[in-house]
């Protein structure tokens, strides 16, 4: 489904993965690479599609990248120039933070994915909050499962997968999925790792990047869809879960 166009090449659009109310469930949020100190809110789908901003949040710290999450009334993001994860309360403007140990935050030690835009990918699935990140001393993919309230560490993984060779990743139902390319129109999800079973999963699922520059691929468990930012085009992919196999299928996006 095609939602709308964007003014910038890089950005993020989000819906809450754990809304506090029906009003919050209807809202959309957006960030833009050109304004790293502002979070934009839209009251509903109609306001979002017509670019009618209903509220802006001046953030206490600027963000870097575009892999953020709205979860349970908080905005989680990577603070620019640091390895800190910020938890921003959108109701009170209070801020909490924790450093992600050994997470890269400089060009010298590298970024995530082939797009080279993020140091961290902050995700939320049916099981809670996750951070996938580039490390200072390895090309392996590093993952932390966090308590969304305290920001304490629940578990840590170090997977032998070079994150810089992957187009993008997302987590769904506790399984980490890797998309081969974010720039090829036709590509595949060829990597999957069950984080709870601590073992790889055999997978080969077709995936498309219609506009050849997909720099945001984020799974939303509340709506069972993937939200993407593909070369100034905001699109979503419905996700279909197969009951007979431990497999997730991403259907090709369709224009309304």
Domain residue limits at 138: 2-250
Q: Give the total number of structural domains in the chain.
A: 1
The pLDDT score that the predictor gives to residue 202 is: 95
Do 139 and 162 contact (CB within 8 A), yes or no? yes
pLDDT band at 241 (very low <50, low <70, confident <90, very high): low
Q: The CATH number of the domain where 98 resides is what?
A: 2.120.10
Does residue 231 lie in a domain region? Answer: yes
Do 29 and 44 contact (CB within 8 A), yes or no? no
Q: What is the pTM of this model?
A: 0.93
pLDDT in tens, 99-130: 999 999 998 888 999 989 999 999 999 999 99
Partners of 32 in the β-ladder: 11
Structure tokens at 107: 């060009």
Q: How far is CA 73 from the centre of its chain?
A: 17
Does residue 154 lie in a domain region? Answer: yes
DSSP H helices, the chain, are: 22-26, 45-49
CA angle 38, 41, 46 (to 5 degrees): 145
Structure tokens at 112: 């995530």
Structure tokens at 135: 């490390």
């Amino acid at each position: 489904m095609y939602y709308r166009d964007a003014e910038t090449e890089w950005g993020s659009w989000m819906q809450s993965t754990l809304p506090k109310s029906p009003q919050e469930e209807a809202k959309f949020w957006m960030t833009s690479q050109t304004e790293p100190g502002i979070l934009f809110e839209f009251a509903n789908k109609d306001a979002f599609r017509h670019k009618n901003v209903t509220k802006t949040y001046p953030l206490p710290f600027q963000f870097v990248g575009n892999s953020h999450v709205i979860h349970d009334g908080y905005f989680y993001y990577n603070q620019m120039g640091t390895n800190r994860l910020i938890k921003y309360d959108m109701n009170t403007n209070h801020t909490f933070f924790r450093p992600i140990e050994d997470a890269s935050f400089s060009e010298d030690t590298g970024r995530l994915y082939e797009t080279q835009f993020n140091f961290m990918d902050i995700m939320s699935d049916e099981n809670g909050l996750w951070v996938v990140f580039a490390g200072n001393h390895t090309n392996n993919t590093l993952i932390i499962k966090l308590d969304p309230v305290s920001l304490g560490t629940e578990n840590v993984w170090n997977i032998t997968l070079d994150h810089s060779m992957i187009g993008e990743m997302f987590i769904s139902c506790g399984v980490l999925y890797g998309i081969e390319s974010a720039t090829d129109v036709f590509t595949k999800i060829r990597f999957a790792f069950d984080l709870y079973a601590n073992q790889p999963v055999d997978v080969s699922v077709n995936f498309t990047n219609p506009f050849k520059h997909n720099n945001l691929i984020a799974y939303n468990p509340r709506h069972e869809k993937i939200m993407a930012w593909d070369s100034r085009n905001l699109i979503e992919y419905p996700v279909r879960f197969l009951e007979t196999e431990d497999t997730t299928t991403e259907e090709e996006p369709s224009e309304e």
